[in-house]
Structure 1
Amino acid sequence: MKNRIKILGLMACGISMTGCSSIAGYDDRHIIAYSVIGLISLLFLGLARYSNLIRDEISDLAAFNANAAQLQQTRKWMPLDKTAPFSLTKVQFGLWTVIISSVYIYLSLIKGDCAVGTINKTALVLMGIFAGTAVASTIIDKNEMNDNRDRHQNTPSQGFFVDILSDDNGISLHRFQNFAWTIIAITVYLYKVSEIRTGCELPELSDTLLALTGISSATYLTLKSQENSPPAQQIPQSAPESQPAAPAPAAAPQLVS
């Protein structure tokens, strides 16, 4: 793991140095900005690949191994990746952290001074939405672990997109729509960044897009809480009530002689 981190660090330095030296007119601000952005991006990708930074937590190792053996039986022609599946909420939170921090560095060092700008509503709302989604998702997962539920997260990774879009029944609509709105918001946000010529004001998204993103996350959390619902408990049958004993027949009267 240490060797991989060193390699990633060297790659970040090499990319930033070669990229800056090939373009005339770059000053120290450009070099610092692109170096820091490259380092943040490479560290995130490296940790995402080789650690549990954006993966779900395994709560039952025995169930994980059993599911791994079952998957290996159905996929004998390909090696099985015995790592935890990727988490949709952690992926979203990590992506927005990298994007907003990189945009801030880019605008602050290259386009203007961010210290003189006003508070950016969009950045705060986006970080609030996905930070809150990540916290709520973690609480849901912890409650399921405490209830000893059979969680679909206790299954080896089947690929990035399959992991983040699947629940216990396969690819699910509520996960897909949440992922789709995340891609839409990221695309619009980065497009608005590309249009900034001067100044350090982070781009503002429309209230409609922010509201749709928030609704999408709320819908996802509501349905996620039901993904690993416990099986319906059967009402125990009570023992049949004892029937009252039948009264004893009256004794026949005896004649006195």
Structure 2
Amino acid sequence: MISYWIFFCLFIALLLFLEKSGGIFRDSSNLLPTGGKKPFSLSRILLAWWVLIILPGFTAILIGTGFIPVLSSQMLVLLGVSGGTTLISRVVDAVDLQTAQAAGANPRSIDNPSAGFWKDILSDNGGINIHRVLSVLTNLIVGSWMIVTFCINLQHIPETPMQADANNLLPQIETATLVLLGISAGIYTTVKATENRA
């Protein structure tokens, strides 16, 4: 369990360094007022959240057993949902930028300067939105469960572990949970298509 938290803290430090040096958690806006900071991106935050949970667990299992754990199809689907949400969000923003520039329309929601972490990820031009709150809560709850499960499983590494033991240390995600996360991501990306025009 200790090794998980060591790697967890190391990955947090790495992500914070990348955020400070390159703004990896922020939207890709080029239309901000002088001196304004880009707002935080919910899709990027959620992708980083899942990477932050899975990679420390993966690394702790590798170090603790000597075997590379084979990621289950459920784990790959989870990463795919997060990555797909980020990709779709980027496409939506790029299309809306072209539309706004061509029509001389009002700035998109991501063209507003940052109002702080929580307000950025929970709000658009119209204020706090329920679909963003739903997405944050769903991912926060399931992610917290995975962290606890990793910590519990890592306390039961056999003295002479085998490949199967390394695989079994990974949290097993129920299909219904993946469906819930998929629905949450689907609602977010669908509504996001209208946010920049809000």
Same fold (TM over 0.5): yes
Cα offsets for 1:123-167 (capped at 9, x unmatched) = 201100000101111110110111125201111111100000001
Q: Which of 45, 52, 62 is residue 98 of structure 1 equivalent to? A: 52
**Cα deviation, residue 54, structure 1:** 0.8
Q: Which of 41, 45, 53 is residue 12 of structure 2 equivalent to? A: 41
Cα offsets for 1:30-74 (capped at 9, x unmatched) = 6xx8765543220102222443201011142xxx32xx8xxxxxx
Q: Which of 96, 106, 118 is residue 161 of structure 1 equivalent to? A: 118
Number of equivalent positions:
181
Letter in 1 for 2:182: G
1:56/1:85 contact within 8 Å kept: yes
Q: Relative to 1, partners in 2 of residues 1:37 and 1:191: Cα closer, same or farther, differing over 3 Å? A: closer
Letter in 2 for 1:45: L
Q: Relative to 1, partners in 2 of residues 1:182 and 1:34: Cα closer, same or farther, differing over 3 Å? A: closer
Name stretches of at least 5 consecutive residues in structure 1 with no aligned partner: 1-19, 21-29, 69-80, 231-257
- Give aligned-pair identity as a percent: 27
**Cα deviation, residue 181, structure 1:** 0.6
Structure number with greater Rg is: 1
1:59/1:145 contact within 8 Å kept: no
Alignment partner of 1:124 is 2:95 = no
The residue correspondences of 1:101-250 to structure 2 (distance < 5 A) are 101-110=55-64, 112-115=65-68, 118-148=70-100, 149=105, 150-196=107-153, 197-198=156-157, 199-201=165-167, 202-229=170-197
Q: Which of 27, 36, 40 is residue 86 of structure 1 equivalent to? A: 40
- Normalization by structure 1: what TM-score? 0.65
Query: Normalized per residue, which structure has more helix?
Result: 2
Letter in 2 for 1:206: E
Equivalent residue, structure 1, for 2:162 = none
Segments of 4+ moved more than 3 angstroms: 33-39
RMSD of the TM alignment (CA)?
A: 2.2
2:123/2:132 contact within 8 Å kept: yes
Alpha-carbon distance between aligned partners in 2 of 1:195 and 1:221, rounded to the nearest angstrom = 34
2:92/2:193 contact within 8 Å kept: yes
Equivalent residue, structure 1, for 2:161 = none
1:54/1:87 contact within 8 Å kept: yes
